[in-house]
Every structure is written in C-alpha cells, then in structure tokens.
Amino acid sequence: MRGSDVYYETHTPYISDLMSAKLRKFALNADFAKDEGAHKGGSAMFLPYDDEYAVLYSKIFTENRIKPEEYNQVIEEVHNLFMNGYKVAPILGYLYNAKGTGIPNPNYNGKVNRDYIFLQRAPGYNLSDLHGYHNFIDKKEAILNSPDTYFTELAETLNAILNSKINPDFNPGNIIYGKNAGFNFCDFNTLEEHKDETMKVAHIRQFLESFLIPSLSLRRPDKAERTFDFMGGKEKYFKTAKEEQKVITDKLSKIPKMRGMVDGAIKTSLPFNEFLQCESISDIYR
C-alpha cells in the first residue's frame, strides 16, 4: 500500500487475494451516489459488483458501532450459519481505515468518509422493493404462493439466527426473496450475546412488520395514492393486503418452532393489531 491509502486495511478471510483486490479497487472508485445499481438503506448504500458479489458502503467502524475485531466474530458467526445450511448471505470481509477516520470517496469530494463491507449476493429482491409499485402484485404473489419448504427453511434460519451471537436487523432491505431460492437474510453488523424470549419475540415482530410495510403505507396518503391506483382502489388494496398478511402469519404459525414467537409478536405489535382489527380503509384514517 502506498500513498493516501497506507492506512486502509482489507480483511477478507473467505475470498481469494485476487477477488479481494478487485473488490477493493471497485469500492474505492465506485460512485455510490450516482450509480443506477445502487440501493440506499438508511445511512448505508448497497452496490452490486456482479451477480455474485456486492459492496456495502457503511459507517459501522467510523461511527464506532463495532470494533473490527468484534466484527470478525460477526463474520465468523454468519459463515458458520451459512456452512450449516441456513439461508444467510455470507459477509466476505471489509475495507476500512485503521486510523478510525473512515475512507473518503472521491465522488463525494472527500466529504463523506465510510467503510466498505464485501458481501456475497443472495438471489432475488429485498422486501423494501415491495414499495416499487410496478411489480407489487407479481412479487407479493410469488411470496404467498411459494412452496411450504421455503417457509420451513425460513423458520429454521430465523430460529438459528435468534440462537446465535448475532444481533439481527430484520428490516425489509435485509430480507431477500428469490422465486427459485426462497428467503435469505443479509447485512448483519453487531453482536448480541444473549437473547431471552422477550428479545426473540421483539426480533420476530420486526421481521413480521417488514412484510406489513406496504400495508402500513395506507396511513401515509401522500405516499400511497399510486399504490391505491395500481391495485384498483383503496378498499381493494386494503382487502388484498389484509389477506396477504394472514397468509404469511398462518404459514409461519404452522411451524412448531415459530408458533409461540409468532403469536407473541402479533399480540405485542401495535401496527399488526391496528391493521388487522380494521374492517375498512376508513378505520385506518380515523
């Protein structure tokens, strides 16, 4: 390493040195702000390298969310889950500034310093794409009509994650669904040494509400009108969304490992209770 990147360290235990070098070069030169393939989620940006690899432009080290040596444990935990057949996208490594000040991106004129996480891509689309109205019906129907084995795998993976040292973030952008691959989870970035039953239920609640997000947009009329129009009107959309949520929760509740946690999550979820108890679209706007 020479010049300005003398303090930039790459840790990539599960890919070749050649692939590591390619991802490093790609990360340092990518325009995460303008690239059409970039997906923004919170303070992070996800940019595909190809069909197999991607780079996450993050702040986990620069904001001191986790130390690199602790993040190495996260990588190991996720790798172990993956090698045991669970549906998680492995973290392949990262590029960071050992001085702790982050890495400036030339396309931001050095004003935004971040870290780069290298990921193996999971096939499909993330649940936040359900906000993309054009494919709403096809995508949601694919999930609802997917084989029961997908939901069994999903339940087994959820249970394994909840019994690991990983602190999961089940927001819609981190849940991937592929028609020929089922569900996968990605973007784990912190540790949680012990999860009691209350904490597990809270994580399952967040997971279930990720499916409910499009339905909750009904309470945001400024952002929901295109959805209403596309689905054939407000009442039709409300009825469809409510039926879909019941299908998803019923599928998961039939799996013994999940039944108690799903029931507990629904009972303690204000969005679920508010939405599922409504009889009409007008109840949401009351």
Q: Which carries the bigger pLDDT value, residue 153 or residue 240?
A: 153
6-10 mean pLDDT = 77
1-6 mean pLDDT = 51
Per-residue pLDDT tens for 27-71? 888 776 555 555 555 555 778 888 899 888 888 887 777 888 899
Instruction: Identify the band that residue 143 occupies on the pLDDT scale cut at 50, 70 and 90.
Output: confident
Q: What is the percent of the chain with per-residue pLDDT over 90, rounded to a whole number?
A: 15
Q: What is the pTM of this model?
A: 0.79
d(CA 234, CA 225): 8
Q: Average per-residue pLDDT in the chain?
A: 75
SS3 of 167-203: CCCCCHHHEEEECCCEEEECCCCCECCCCCHHHHHHH
Nearest alpha-carbon partner for 206 in 268, 148, 124: 268
- 180 has a pLDDT exceeding 70: yes
